[in-house]
Chains A and B, each alone.
Chain A
């Protein structure tokens, strides 16, 4: 797909400084899993991407990173054109080939479809970036592990139960695993493969989160 010039929007006003600041935000949430930060270095994102997703892309993606997009994003002219123009990242058809997979919460690939890295090179795994309808510190999940002094609470709204179960179970394969960023509007959090997730309640969480802000 070619770049549609009428879909192009501005990237960072100051790419060097904004890339560094967004990276530091990403570093903060990856090293202190479940903490939530805001990133505000762009006015708008391509239609379909959250502000935080777009800023992560501008900061971390380039011609060296293969990117997989979930179906709605992959069929969006605005998303494709801006990623191609600003990041020049190659897009791949299968999640297994991706360094970064960007997905809507309703279009998540199965974790098994991603690249988990190898025993010798566990770093060569896909980083999964998911756009979700809400992120909060409500005690739905109790997190523990590196980067967390005791425990930390996190609620990520809008995830299918099967995916939640798969994510929790994936910890058994450490050091192989999938590191995740969670994006909602201008907010960002992360769960690296080391974070243990304890569901505090077995009650099924409502998927309807329209009234909630993230």
Chain B
């Protein structure tokens, strides 16, 4: 496949790619540590996640197969546009199937299907610094990371426990990487946090506005913060997916008609489709999946 003429391959200039590539290598060498990077801005529509785009543009090659998900779905406007963008500027094949993809750019979910060695998961990160809301000054958060001074985050989580009786933070739930650096996993649901640990695939994180890259190499320990008397727990549902019957995926609440009828379906649309193909059924098995993609999705 050939790329459109008049563009740099994958849109980004070669010098910026080299800079980002060197930052990625350092990020991999220091798991969970935020590497600052320079380079030019990548002028892109709002909502595409420049950081994730810059990382993808620097990593992607002609033989890659790209999957893009937004909140678990392959068919949202942003996911479709980003896939088209790289198909156009890099001439790569795209796919919606997790198992087929070599690169997966994601906003806010980790696929339910376990990722494999040699796959790369690229997260779009809005705010890379987990300590930012505690300490606005970069020079100070750098020091806190240097000294592993993470008590303030424990205090914040414990305030949750004091107020609600449990840790209320359910997205952006902070983790410790390789027992050393505190890391913001990006706004994935904490349901996905355990998938980050010892994952056979490489995980790269790009924050465009703050120009930070960080990484979790394959088979690296990632632990969610918790307390002895309040251990980390993931979200769970009493319902199963109405389409595929899955009782172990992250579910979205979907409004199915004008009367406000609701049901729960897998947020990972590819996983749900795969299960339906395998013959799994839910309580709304007769409802075509296509109807759901246009329904209003509420994440809880």
The answer to whether B218 and A120 touch across the interface, beta carbons within 8 angstroms, is no
Max chain B C-beta neighbours (<10 A), residue from A59, A62, A64, A147 = A147
| Distance, CA A6 to CA B22, complexed state (A) | 31
The answer to whether B30 and A175 touch across the interface, beta carbons within 8 angstroms, is yes
| Distance, CA A174 to CA B146, complexed state (A) | 11
| Distance, CA A122 to CA B180, complexed state (A) | 13
Interface size of A by Cβ–Cβ distance < 8 Å? 38
Contacts of B28 in A (CB 8 A): 27, 30-31, 147, 192
Interface 9-mer from A12-20, A46-54, A78-86, A157-165:
A12-20
Contacts of B14 in A (CB 8 A): 15-16, 19
User: What per-residue 1/0 map shows which CB atoms of B115-142 lie under 8 Å from chain A?
Assistant: 0001000000000000000000001001
Which residue in A17, A27, A62, A125 is a CB contact (below 8 Å) of B18? A62
Q: Which residues of B contact A (CB under 8 A)?
A: 8-9, 14-15, 17-19, 21-31, 33, 35-36, 58-62, 118, 139, 142-143, 145-147, 178, 180-181, 198, 200, 202, 215-220
Nearest chain B CB to A89's CB is how many angstroms away? 11
Nearest chain A CB to B52's CB is how many angstroms away? 16
Contacts of B35 in A (CB 8 A): 123
Which residue in B25, B146, B147, B215 is a CB contact (below 8 Å) of A26? B25
Nearest chain B CB to A213's CB is how many angstroms away? 26
Max chain B C-beta neighbours (<10 A), residue from A19, A26, A27, A119 = A27
The answer to whether B146 and A147 touch across the interface, beta carbons within 8 angstroms, is no
Contacts of A149 in B (CB 8 A): 198, 200, 218-219
The answer to the question of A185 belonging to the interface, with a C-beta cut-off of 8 Å to chain B, is no
| A-B contact list, 14 entries, CB within 8 Å | A27-B28, A31-B215, A59-B21, A99-B22, A119-B146, A123-B36, A146-B216, A149-B198, A149-B218, A149-B219, A192-B30, A194-B30, A194-B178, A194-B217
Nearest chain A CB to B89's CB is how many angstroms away? 12
Contacts of A120 in B (CB 8 A): 139, 142-143, 145-146
Contacts of B18 in A (CB 8 A): 19, 59-60, 62, 64
Max chain A C-beta neighbours (<10 A), residue from B18, B24, B215 = B18
Interface residues of A in 15-36 (CB under 8 A from B): 15-17, 19-21, 23-24, 26-28, 30-32
The answer to whether A147 and B217 touch across the interface, beta carbons within 8 angstroms, is yes
The answer to the question of A193 belonging to the interface, with a C-beta cut-off of 8 Å to chain B, is yes
Q: Which residues of A contact B (CB under 8 A)?
A: 15-17, 19-21, 23-24, 26-28, 30-32, 59-60, 62, 64-65, 99, 119-123, 125, 127, 146-149, 174-175, 177, 179, 192-194
| Distance, CA A23 to CA B25, complexed state (A) | 9
Contacts of B180 in A (CB 8 A): 174-175
Contacts A24-B61, A62-B18, A119-B146 given; does A17 touch B9 at CB 8 Å: yes
Contacts of A32 in B (CB 8 A): 217-218
The answer to whether A193 and B30 touch across the interface, beta carbons within 8 angstroms, is yes
The answer to whether B178 and A146 touch across the interface, beta carbons within 8 angstroms, is yes
Nearest chain A CB to B237's CB is how many angstroms away? 32
The answer to whether B61 and A146 touch across the interface, beta carbons within 8 angstroms, is no
Contacts of A174 in B (CB 8 A): 180
Contacts A27-B59, A65-B22, A179-B25 given; does A122 touch B30 at CB 8 Å: yes
Contacts A147-B220, A194-B178 given; does A123 touch B30 at CB 8 Å: yes
| Distance, CA A208 to CA B219, complexed state (A) | 35
Contacts of A147 in B (CB 8 A): 28, 217-220
Residue of chain A at shortest CB distance from B22: A60
The answer to whether B31 and A194 touch across the interface, beta carbons within 8 angstroms, is yes
Contacts of B30 in A (CB 8 A): 122-123, 175, 192-194
Q: A65-B22, A146-B178 are in contact. List 8 more A-B contacts (CB 8 A).
A: A27-B24, A120-B142, A121-B36, A123-B26, A123-B30, A146-B220, A177-B29, A194-B30
The answer to whether A192 and B29 touch across the interface, beta carbons within 8 angstroms, is yes
| Distance, CA A119 to CA B147, complexed state (A) | 8
Residue of chain A at shortest CB distance from B143: A120
